[in-house]
């Protein structure tokens, strides 16, 4: 289990700190990888500071540190297997015991470890980091790969420690692969010991498709409704899921950033706006605000497994001079590699790629500022709004049309509008609450991201729109000429 910046994982200490015996049946690469077994393999050797086999640990750079984990019995020793195999509720499922490539699983229930057991020693490590850094939460990596009981005990131990030092709201968010069912299961079982789950399952590709106009908004917004989605129970609470647009793994769908096939340098803002102004806790992955998109198309020929490998989701904000070999070999200069593209964004090499003037960055900064200043956008109830095109009947919006939803907090309504079309302007009549906006109601435009471009806009910030009514009493606002992938927010309290 780990915060994202640490080099640890749920059922393992993430590090190639020891090896199986070289002659282990089914092994490859001198025992680095062996096939999964339901039992246990013999222990081989530790790795020394250079990554070579050593029979004993002689210093802090050898094997594993701290010393609490320097026992062969502290590791499952079950080999490399399928990380998706087995039922999520099965404590002995393959996905809970297998190695992660050459990363070695902890035997968390080993009672002979220093401190009582491996799980307790692992929790002690994290308590140390909390005390040292004064951090306020962890992203717990690969939480599904430990049993529910182990997860509950670890999280409970961290929660007790942080409460005892005055951090009553220490935030634990779990990365739980396997889709909605697994996320919901761990949230239910861990209860108050786990604050939220990263929504890395079906909702992430749905969010991407809606923001690009490739799917109807219901593909995303129905995920909040328990009546329409059996796993909407934690999302409709608004504080138990963390929305993801880009991610370093992207376990569902193609492994491509949102902006890899974007229509503009700011189309990603449409996706971020949906994250920021819909229920849940938004997570903006680094580089999303710079519209990182991977290398240019002309450089993809250099890159094996483009679109299917995690490595192309992890561009360096400050790219190296050229790609490096893994491990210590990467410290050596290899003249043969100097003509290859760098691992910086857009195929750059050695480039400083943080730009506070980037069109996406400037728009996202506006969105974040508005969310901070308007509680209704953080805590309000949520309603997907029907739209009417060209005076026709109101209906659920289609892909590529205006997407509108309301956040309502007491007597305040904020209407959020996103043009999900990437290349064309859009307009529509959008429903608002008839009771909250009775009489000659008005909404004020509190944000229009199109103003960043400097051109005149139809609905400038500060302008007022009158609430109109159909003969049946339906209340609506007439929204016109929203440019591609731009966002409007209007509020009825001013």
Q: Output the six-digit token pair for 342.
A: 């760098």
Report the distance separating Cα 124 and Cα 158, nearest Å. 9
Residue 13, C-beta contacts closer than 8 angstroms, at least 6 positions apart: 7, 64, 69, 103, 104, 106, 122
Place of tokens 């005990």: 153
In the chain, what are the domains? 12-302 (3.20.20.80), 379-491 (2.60.40.1180)
Q: What is the pLDDT of residue 157?
A: 94
Buried b (16+ CB within 10 A) or exposed e, 15-30: bebbbbbeebeebeee
Q: CA 436, 442, 446, 450: dihedral to nearest 10 degrees? A: 120
CA-nearest of 463, 408, 465, 404 to 435 is 408
Enter the tokens of residue 158.
């961290």
* pLDDT one digit per residue (tens) for the chain, 494 residues: 333 333 333 333 346 788 888 888 877 777 777 888 888 889 888 888 777 888 888 777 777 777 778 888 888 888 888 888 878 888 888 777 788 766 777 877 777 655 568 888 889 989 999 999 999 999 988 888 888 888 889 999 999 999 999 999 999 999 888 777 788 788 878 888 889 888 888 889 999 999 999 999 999 999 888 777 766 666 777 788 899 999 988 877 788 899 998 999 999 999 999 999 999 999 999 999 999 998 777 777 777 778 888 878 888 888 766 666 655 665 565 555 555 556 778 777 778 889 999 999 999 999 999 999 999 999 999 999 999 999 999 999 999 999 999 999 999 999 999 999 999 999 999 999 999 998 889 999 999 999 999 999 999 999 999 999 999 999 999 999 999 999 999 999 97
| Rounded Cα distance, 446 and 250, in Å | 34
In angstroms, the CA 142 to CA 186 distance is: 12
35 beta partners: 80
Residue 345 main-chain phi, psi, to 5 deg: -65, 150
How much is the pLDDT for 5? 32
Angle at 155 between CA 8 and CA 105, to 5 degrees: 35
Q: Token pair for residue 294? A: 């991977």
H/E/C letters for each residue in the chain? CCCCCCCCECCEECCCCEECCCCCCCCECCCCECECCCCCCCCCEEECCCCCEECCCCCCCCCCCCHHHCCHHHECCCCECCCCCCCCCCCCCHHHHCEECCEEEECCCCCCCCCCCHHHHHHHHHHHHHHHHCCCEEEECCHHHCCHHHHHHHHHHHHHHHHHCCCCCCEEEECCCCCHHHHHHHHHHHHHHCCEEEECCCHHHHHHHHHCCCCCCHHHHHHHCCCCCCCCCCHHHCCCEEEECCCCCCCCCCCCCHHHHCCCCCCHHHHHHHHHHCCCEEECCCCHHHCCCCCCHHHHHHCCCCCCCHHHHCCCCECCCCCCCCHHHHHCCCHHHCCCCCCCHHHCCCCECCCCCCHHHHHHHHHHHHHHHCHHHHHCEEEECCEECCCCCCECCCCCCEEEEEEEECCEEEEEEEECCCCCCEEEEEECCCCCCCCCCEEEEEEEHHHHHCCCCCCCCCCEEECEECCCCCEEEEEEEECCCCEEEEECCC
Q: What pLDDT was estimated at residue 12?
A: 33
- Beta carbons of 208 and 246 less than 8 angstroms apart: no
Query: Distance between CA 163 and CA 169 in Å, rounded?
Result: 8
Beta sheet of 464-466, edge-to-edge order: 381-384, 402-409, 412-419, 487-491, 442-448, 464-466
Q: Is 300 exposed, middle or buried (0-12, 13-18, 19+ CB in 10 A)?
A: middle
What is the predicted pLDDT for the residue at 433? 97
User: Which tokens hold the place of 38?
Assistant: 């339901």
**How many Å is the Cα radius of gyration of the chain?**
25
Query: pLDDT value at position 76?
Result: 85
Two structure tokens written together for 454: 């400097």
- Spatial contact of 129 and 167, defined as CB atoms under 8 Å apart: no
Closest CA to 482 of 417, 432, 395: 417
CA distance 428 to 477: 8
């Amino acid at each position: 289990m780990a915060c994202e910046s640490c080099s640890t994982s749920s059922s393992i200490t993430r590090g190639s700190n020891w090896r199986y015996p070289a002659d282990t049946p089914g092994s490859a690469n001198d025992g680095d990888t062996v096939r999964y077994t339901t039992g246990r393999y013999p222990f081989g050797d530790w790795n020394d500071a250079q990554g070579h086999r050593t029979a004993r640990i002689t210093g802090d750079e050898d094997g594993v540190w701290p010393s609490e984990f320097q026992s062969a019995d502290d590791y499952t020793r079950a080999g490399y297997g399928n990380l998706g195999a087995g039922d999520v509720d099965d404590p002995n499922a393959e996905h809970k015991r297998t190695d992660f490539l050459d990363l070695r699983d902890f035997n968390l229930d080993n009672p002979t470890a220093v401190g009582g057991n491996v799980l307790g020693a692992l929790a002690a490590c994290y308590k140390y980091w909390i005390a040292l850094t004064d951090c306020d939460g962890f992203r717990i990596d690969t939480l599904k790969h430990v049993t529910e009981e182990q997860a509950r005990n670890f999280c409970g131990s961290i929660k007790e420690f942080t409460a005892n030092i005055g951090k009553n709201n220490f935030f634990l968010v779990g990365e739980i692969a396997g889709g909605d069912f697994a996320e919901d299961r761990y949230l239910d079982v861990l209860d108050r010991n786990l604050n939220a789950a990263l929504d890395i399952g079906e909702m992430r590709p749905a969010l991407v498709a809606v923001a690009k106009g490739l799917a109807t908004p219901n593909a995303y917004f129905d995920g909040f409704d328990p009546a329409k989605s059996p796993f909407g129970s934690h999302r409709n609470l608004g504080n138990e899921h963390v929305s993801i647009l880009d991610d370093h793994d992207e376990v569902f769908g193609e492994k491509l950033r949102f902006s890899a096939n974007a229509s503009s340098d700011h189309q990603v803002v449409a996706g971020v706006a949906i994250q920021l102004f819909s229920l849940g806790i938004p997570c903006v992955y680094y580089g999303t605000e710079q519209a990182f998109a991977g290398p240019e198309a002309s450089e993809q020929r250099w890159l094996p497994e483009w679109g299917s490998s995690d490595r192309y989701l992890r561009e360096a904000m400050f790219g190296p001079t050229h790609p490096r070999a893994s491990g210590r070999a990467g410290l050596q200069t290899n003249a043969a590699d100097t003509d290859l593209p760098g691992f910086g964004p857009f195929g750059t090499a050695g480039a400083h790629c943080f730009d506070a003037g980037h069109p996406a960055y400037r728009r996202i900064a506006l969105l974040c500022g508005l969310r901070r200043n308007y509680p209704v956008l953080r805590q309000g109830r949520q309603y997907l709004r029907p739209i009417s095109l060209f005076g026709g009947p109101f209906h659920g919006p289609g892909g590529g049309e205006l997407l509108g939803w309301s956040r309502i907090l007491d007597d305040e309504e904020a209407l959020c509008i996103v043009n999900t079309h990437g290349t064309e302007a859009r307009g529509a009549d959008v429903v608002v609450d008839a009771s909250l906006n009775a009489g000659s109601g008005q909404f004020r435009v509190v944000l229009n991201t199109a103003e960043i471009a400097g051109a005149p806009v139809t609905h400038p910030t500060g302008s007022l729109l009158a609430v109109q009514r159909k003969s049946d009493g339906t209340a609506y606002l007439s929204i016109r000429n929203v440019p591609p992938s731009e966002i409007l927010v209007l509020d009825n309290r001013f």
